[in-house]
Structure 1
Amino acid sequence: MLKETFVKLASAYTDDNLLINELWEEIEAAHSAPKRHYHTLKHLKNLLYQLEAVKDQIQNWEAVLFTLYYHDIVYNPLKDNNEEKSAELAAARLSALAVPAGLFQLCKQQILATKRHLPDADPDTNYFTDADLSVLGQDWHVYSAYAEGVRKEYSIYPDLIYKPGRKKVLQHFLQMDRIYKTDHFYKMLETSAKRNLQQELDGL
């Protein structure tokens, strides 16, 4: 499903099947790296599922799809510029596909928005960042698997360093008036997300 969707998306801009396949293989390899435990193809599948449910509310579906595929393509837990690097790579790859500059600039902006997940003037960005956080409001077994995956990705850090940092992240979300910017995700996930976050915090 992920590959088919990407091929169809890219094929709207080029008939270079070799290029399309190379770009897909790059995406697949990045999200299948051994050190990735949450930011994987499974995460992208969940994002696609969540976004398809609100497709009729999204103004530029193709931009959001490109954002989906590239927002985590660069991911190094030791760095704090993953979003910037991912946005740069997305712009280069979309340029190679002959995607119009306006569209890939929008894609870059949406990728950068995943750094803070704050309300944005662009409704599509809010839908994307809400979908990106949708795991927070899933059933506890799904959420706990996510939390374990994040811990594994940061396994280089001992608990003495990891736990205070993780607590800060959890408290940041819990102190928000609302985690989800869009009514769709707020009504569906807000209550369960805050319950999950509090349960993880209590367990640290």
Structure 2
Amino acid sequence: MNLKEKYTELLANIGFDEKAIQQNWLDLEKTYSGKSRHYHNLTHIKDMILCFETYSDRLRNPDEILFSIFYHDYVYKSSKKDNELKSAEFALSILPENSSFDRQLVFDAICATQLHQYNANEDINWLIDFDLKILARNWDEYQIYFEQIRKEYRIYPDFLYKPGRAKALKHFLEYEFIFQTEEFRGLYEEKARINIEKEILLLS
């Protein structure tokens, strides 16, 4: 899958002109390719878009969700707690003023990737699940994922990082469900919980 082609097609649908598409792509590519981006990079975006392509026929507003995928981690600083809000604000700021795009959906969808909790809008639940699918990978791939996350938080020593990471993981286990769609619960819920429990043990 060619990410640039997918992005170009989407922005053309939204109403961006060719020059704006090219510039926004360069900005996006540069941002997600930053040296500190070990997990929250273009590979993560590509993985989410593969999910999107599988389930896009279930979405009421596929273009808005695809746009949200591209921008949901646009602002990512491990020392900040408002990354999703800033990403949402940035995503809205580049939209053409005359676009009929559902700005509120984009804003709500990107912000929802902070807490990953059930949303009244089913499209947003799909986006949340696409973002969390990594939790249900086979163990070797899951291990690479949490090692990449550790690198993104390398400014924090183990005595701060380990309890913080364990606390965040335990939140997932406390939810009745990690995944918000029935489809993903059936496919991935059990595997995700096993992986999370194993990582928590390694952190203790």
Query: How high is the TM-score relative to the length of structure 2?
Result: 0.96
3-state DSSP of counterpart to 1:75: coil
- Correspondence 1:2-13 to 2 at 5 A: 2-13=3-14
Q: Distance in 2 between matches of 1:201 and 1:15?
A: 45
Does the CA contact (< 8 Å) of 1:90 and 1:104 recur in 2?
no
| Deviation string, structure 1 residues 113-154 (Cα, Å, up to 9, x no partner) | 111111000000000001100000111111111100100000
| Deviation string, structure 1 residues 59-78 (Cα, Å, up to 9, x no partner) | 10000010001100000011
Q: Is the aligned partner of 1:16 residue 2:17? A: yes
Q: Distance in 2 between matches of 1:60 and 1:198?
A: 35
Aligned-pair distance for 1:15? Answer: 5.8
Letter in 2 for 1:131: F
Could you list the runs of 5+ residues in structure 2 that have no partner in the other structure? none
Q: Is the aligned partner of 1:99 residue 2:99? A: yes
Aligned-pair distance for 1:12? Answer: 1.6
Q: Distance in 1 between matches of 2:174 and 2:14?
A: 43
Aligned-pair distance for 1:104? Answer: 2.0
Q: Is the aligned partner of 1:74 residue 2:67? A: no
- Correspondence 1:1-204 to 2 at 5 A: 1-14=2-15, 16-95=17-96, 98-100=98-100, 103-204=102-203
Letter in 1 for 2:80: K
Moved over 6 A (4+): none
| Deviation string, structure 1 residues 17-70 (Cα, Å, up to 9, x no partner) | 111011011111111000010000000010001121111111100000100011
Q: Distance in 2 between matches of 1:99 and 1:44?
A: 24
Could you list the runs of 5+ residues in structure 1 that have no partner in the other structure? none
Does the CA contact (< 8 Å) of 1:47 and 1:132 recur in 2?
yes
CA RMSD, aligned part only? 1.1
Aligned-pair distance for 1:184? Answer: 1.1
Letter in 2 for 1:34: K
Q: Distance in 1 between matches of 2:185 and 2:4?
A: 30
Aligned-pair distance for 1:14? Answer: 3.1
3-state DSSP of counterpart to 1:54: helix
Quickly say closer, same or farther: Cα 1:15–1:81, change in 2 above 3 A: closer
Query: How high is the TM-score relative to the length of structure 1?
Result: 0.96
Identical-pair percentage: 39
> 174-183 or 157-166, which moves further after superposition?
174-183
